[in-house]
Amino acid sequence: MSDVAIQVRDVTKKYDNRVILDAIGLDVQEAETLVILGGSGSGKSTLLRLMIGNIIPDAGTILSLGKDLCAMTPRQLADYRRSIGVLFQSGALFNSMTVFDNVALPIREHTDVPEETISIMVKIKLELVGLRQHADKMPSELSGGMKKRAGLARALALDPKVLFYDEPSAGLDPVTSAEIDQLIIDLNEKLGVTTVVVTHEMDSAFRIADRMVLLDRGKFIVSGSPDEMRNSKDPLVRQFVHGLTEGPLTDRRRAGGYESDLLAEDI
């Protein structure tokens, strides 16, 4: 648990002069499960996209698996992406292919493995996520939970060193959500992969996290173990973790100049 897998240093990201991430720093230890918490618009998805190299920061550096993501040639970036796996919010399966072909795609694209071996590899990945019987189905025939499992199998196809999850329990019922959480824990333990999860679901976060960080308005508020988070005295953390309707997060929204807005003359 000592080596650092991903190092984020002073990273700033803006969209049209709106600061999404403000000089943040973060270390992800090897083989740990780190949960990035934050409300909608807190910049947590942007942080995830930065770490998978889909966008580059306006300032700061990201070192992932020992490589600088900001100074990569397209070829190096492709190499890096082959060593990570990403589960997107919707699963992001290719709708024109069967589940089997979806999982086989990265193997076919990036290796010279013969088709018989691919078939075995795909079956192993599908068994890991419990979908071996559904290999021949099209994505449209799968439920939301199964789509995420299939997306996870595809993310695992090339035996990644780091797995990223974008809102793994979004849109799932509590039981399916718990199953996906268990899967995340199992994979982390069985395969020893470094796991980064972006979510706002507290139940899920507490189940899977070794360590949590809370992102708010582009800055990290706090970082700690699930227990530390649960017992935190910080009012903002308390409101977020316990889902309270009273606290700094809601006060901020209310302080939006309601009065002057009502009384303002039309321009």
Partner 1 sequence: MNLITRPFILIGDAVIQWLELIGGAGYLFVDAARSVHVALFGKRGRRLGWDSLWAQMVRVGVRSIPIVSLVVFCIGAILAFQMAPILRDYGALERVADIIAVAMFRELGPIMSAIVLTGFAGASIAAEIGTMVVSEEIEALEAQAISPIRFLVVPRILSTTAMMVCLAVIGDIMGVTGGMLVSRGFLGIGMLQYVHHTFDNIKMQDFITGLVKAGCFGTIISTLACHLGLGVTGGAQGVGVATTRTVVLTIVALILVDLMFTGVFYFLGW
Beta bridge partners of 214: 37, 222
CB-CB neighbours of 10 under 10 Å: 12
Q: Which is nearer to partner 1, 2 or 140 (CB)?
A: 140
User: Distance between alpha carbon 190 and the CA centroid of its chain, in Å?
Assistant: 19
Q: Which is nearer to partner 1, 33 or 102 (CB)?
A: 102
Q: How far is the CB of 96 from partner 1 (least distance, A)?
A: 8
Q: How far is the CB of 109 from partner 1 (least distance, A)?
A: 5
CA distances from 174 to 220, 223, 239 (A): 28, 26, 22
Q: How far is the CB of 131 from partner 1 (least distance, A)?
A: 17
Binding site for partner 1 (CB under 8 A): 49, 52, 54, 77-79, 81-82, 84, 86, 88-90, 92-95, 105-106, 108-112, 151, 154
Q: How far is the CB of 19 from partner 1 (least distance, A)?
A: 21
Q: Which is nearer to partner 1, 12 or 76 (CB)?
A: 76
Type of residue found at 220: F
Under a CB-based contact definition with an 8 Å cutoff, are residues 171 and 144 in contact? yes
Q: How far is the CB of 81 from partner 1 (least distance, A)?
A: 4
Using a 10 angstrom Cβ sphere, with 0-12 exposed, 13-18 middle and 19 or more buried, the burial of residue 150 is: buried
Q: How far is the CB of 53 from partner 1 (least distance, A)?
A: 8
Q: Which is nearer to partner 1, 118 or 237 (CB)?
A: 118
* Measured distance CA(208)–CA(36) in Å, rounded: 11
Q: Which is nearer to partner 1, 92 or 249 (CB)?
A: 92
Q: Which is nearer to partner 1, 7 or 89 (CB)?
A: 89
* Measured distance CA(262)–CA(246) in Å, rounded: 24
Q: With b meaning 16 or more CB within 10 Å and e meaning fewer, what string describes 191-219?
A: eebbbbbbbbbbebbbbbbbbbbbbbbbe
Q: Which is nearer to partner 1, 156 or 212 (CB)?
A: 156
Identify the DSSP state of 202. Answer: H
Q: How far is the CB of 52 from partner 1 (least distance, A)?
A: 5
Under a CB-based contact definition with an 8 Å cutoff, are residues 168 and 87 in contact? yes
